[in-house]
């Protein structure tokens, strides 16, 4: 947001009456009123109901609505999110009925990394409607308008973190596989690590774990960038985004793994400790007793258990008995924590919600996916030229891969190499399914074994991951 818009927002929030502030604290909106909806009307739903684009003057009413829905004090967190570098008030879509705000969603524009390729995404944040208005179907229109707006703005993929997966599933959204975290007793973890490492190995370690310092932010950015670009779904972070993330102080601490400087035979360091030019090879972001993000450079996997061990010791000092690890499911540390007596907790069984996605533009996804498809075809030896006809419900597509491009286009031809529904189709294109399991579960049906081998090679299973760091509330 621009400085003038921030000042207007602070003034608008500050202009609330004492009665409104009291009702905000209790989460009660009834009896308060405020004009809003000065933004452009995006859709008229009739019956004095419409969807409008937000503006800076709507922030007080948005805050009231969110506090009523979530039944918690959100003023500080809400204000901090207005400072997010890419935030624009018009990214909020507001559902208005008879002058009352009854729903809203923030369409946050992002760039996601998928195996070194960048894709424009939209993340739906705080998609809420007042429960008494849901039977009228207004939230269906709000979701449809958010998807259409995001597609018009260039987004290819939509993401949402929600505790209502069944409802989003009915509207074409798919749950991301393999989402969850591990939780284990702190002392059990430390005991297990001690049994795995000898004292000699600990003494020879060239890594030091300590709290970070603000001038080391560029080092954290470097580690994150090197690792996240090769992952599946991670958010691209600019320098301004990093400064906003660490500056809002939603985390309790950030630990870093530093490669120690060489020392003289007498033990004196060759480098003065007053100017620390040691290499940062990894970091961990801690909130309470949760490790919400951990990244380490290639070749420094040994830093990961050291970071976890330090997090466990700090958790014990703060009176916590358990530590949870929220890294990607492919992280070997999850198995290590389970071996230490911990357990894997799937997001589908938790109250924090699950990640879901929707492919807003399959044609553009495949077009931009060409470098990955070409690499996979070359590595698997299936040939760089392919044509596959897919029947997705009542719609037919032709997937074409050549030496120079990849295309997905709608066709009227009746030939069917693959038959599936919409969810299986977008799960396939996003590598969100294991092909053999999808066939055995009758989610996919192919006309020939060669087609099966080709699809399995072009779309091998990948596990989506976005860091919980951005989701932390103050």
Residues 100, 151 within the same domain? yes
Residues 19, 145 within the same domain? yes
**Boundary of a domain, candidates 351, 386, 407:** 351
Residues 311, 263 within the same domain? yes
Inside any domain, residue 172: no
Look at 31 and 113; give whichever has higher pLDDT: 113
Residues 365, 409 within the same domain? yes
Please state, in angstroms and as integers, the Cα–Cα distance from residue 401 to each residue in 115, 284, 448, following that order: 19, 41, 18
pLDDT at 36: 59
Residues 127, 71 within the same domain? yes
* Residue 267 clears pLDDT 70, i.e. is over it: no
Look at 301 and 273; give whichever has higher pLDDT: 301
How many domains would you assign to the chain?
3
pLDDT band at 435, cuts 50/70/90? confident
Q: Are 291 and 323 in contact (CB under 8 A)?
A: yes
pLDDT, average across residues 392-413: 93
Between CA 337 and CA 332 the distance in angstroms is 9
For residue 144, the domain's CATH number is 3.40.630.30
Domain range enclosing 189: 180-351
For residue 451, the domain's CATH number is 3.30.1050.10
Residue the block writes with tokens 């357990």? 343
Residues 43, 117 within the same domain? yes
Residues 336, 378 within the same domain? no
Q: What angle do CA 400, 122, 86 make, to 5 degrees?
A: 130
pLDDT band at 437, cuts 50/70/90? confident
Q: Is 162 in a helix, a strand, or coil?
A: strand
pLDDT at 37: 55
Q: Token pair for residue 68?
A: 């009523």
pLDDT tens digits along 161-199: 999 999 999 999 999 999 999 999 999 999 998 887 755
Inside any domain, residue 468: no
Q: What is the mean pLDDT of the chain?
A: 87
Between CA 104 and CA 55 the distance in angstroms is 12
Residues 222, 319 within the same domain? yes
Inside any domain, residue 187: yes
Provide the phi-psi class of 205: left if phi over 0, else alpha when psi is between -120 and 50, else beta: beta
Residues in a beta bridge with 453: none
pLDDT at 347: 87
Whether the model pTM is above 0.85? yes
Inside any domain, residue 324: yes
Inside any domain, residue 470: no
pLDDT at 35: 53
pLDDT, average across residues 13-32: 41
Residues 126, 199 within the same domain? no
pLDDT tens digits along 187-240: 999 999 888 775 545 555 789 999 999 999 999 999 999 999 999 999 999 999
* Residue 336 clears pLDDT 80, i.e. is over it: yes
Residues 121, 228 within the same domain? no
Inside any domain, residue 167: no
């Amino acid at each position: 947001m621009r400085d003038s818009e921030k000042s207007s927002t602070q003034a608008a929030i500050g202009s609330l009456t004492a009665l409104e502030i009291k009702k905000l604290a209790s989460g009660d909106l009834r009896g308060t009123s405020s004009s809003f909806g000065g933004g452009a009307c995006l859709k008229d739903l009739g019956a004095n109901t419409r969807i409008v684009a937000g503006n800076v003057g709507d922030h007080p009413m948005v805050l009231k609505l969110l506090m009523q829905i979530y039944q918690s004090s959100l003023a500080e967190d809400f204000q901090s999110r207005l400072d997010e570098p890419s935030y624009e008030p018009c990214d909020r879509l507001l559902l208005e009925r008879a002058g009352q705000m009854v729903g809203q969603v923030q369409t946050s524009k992002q760039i996601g990394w998928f195996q070194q390729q960048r894709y424009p995404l939209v993340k739906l944040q705080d998609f809420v409607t007042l429960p008494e208005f849901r039977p009228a179907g207004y939230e269906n229109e709000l979701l449809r308008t958010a998807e259409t707006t995001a597609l018009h703005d260039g987004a290819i993929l939509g993401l949402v973190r929600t505790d209502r997966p069944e409802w989003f599933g009915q509207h074409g959204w798919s749950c991301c596989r393999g989402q969850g975290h591990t939780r284990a007793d702190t002392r059990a973890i430390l005991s297990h690590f001690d049994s795995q490492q000898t004292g000699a190995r600990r003494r020879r370690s060239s890594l030091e774990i300590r709290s970070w310092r603000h001038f080391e932010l560029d080092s954290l950015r470097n580690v994150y960038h090197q690792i996240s670009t090769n992952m599946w779904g991670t958010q691209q972070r600019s320098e301004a985004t990093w400064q906003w993330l660490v500056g809002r102080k939603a985390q309790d601490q950030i630990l870093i793994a530093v490669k120690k400087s060489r020392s003289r035979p007498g033990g004196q360091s060759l480098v003065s400790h007053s100017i620390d030019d040691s290499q940062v090879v990894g970091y961990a972001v801690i909130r309470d007793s949760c490790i919400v993000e951990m990244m380490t450079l290639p070749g420094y996997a040994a830093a990961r258990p050291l970071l976890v061990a330090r997090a466990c010791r700090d958790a014990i000092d703060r009176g916590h008995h358990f530590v949870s690890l929220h890294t990607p499911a492919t992280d070997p540390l999850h198995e290590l924590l389970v071996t230490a007596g911990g357990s894997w907790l799937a997001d589908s069984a938790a109250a924090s919600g699950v990640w879901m996605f929707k492919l807003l533009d399959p044609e553009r996804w495949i077009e931009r996916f060409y470098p990955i498809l070409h690499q996979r075809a070359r590595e698997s030896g299936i040939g760089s030229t392919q044509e596959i006809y897919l029947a997705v419900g009542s719609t037919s597509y032709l997937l074409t891969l050549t030496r120079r491009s990849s295309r997905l286009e709608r066709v009227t031809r009746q030939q069917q190499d693959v038959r599936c529904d919409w969810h299986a189709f977008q799960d396939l294109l996003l590598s969100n399914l294991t092909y053999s399991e999808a066939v055995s579960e009758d989610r996919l049906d192919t006309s020939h074994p060669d087609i099966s081998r080709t699809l399995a090679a072009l779309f091998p299973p990948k596990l989506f991951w976005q860091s919980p760091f951005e989701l932390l509330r103050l």
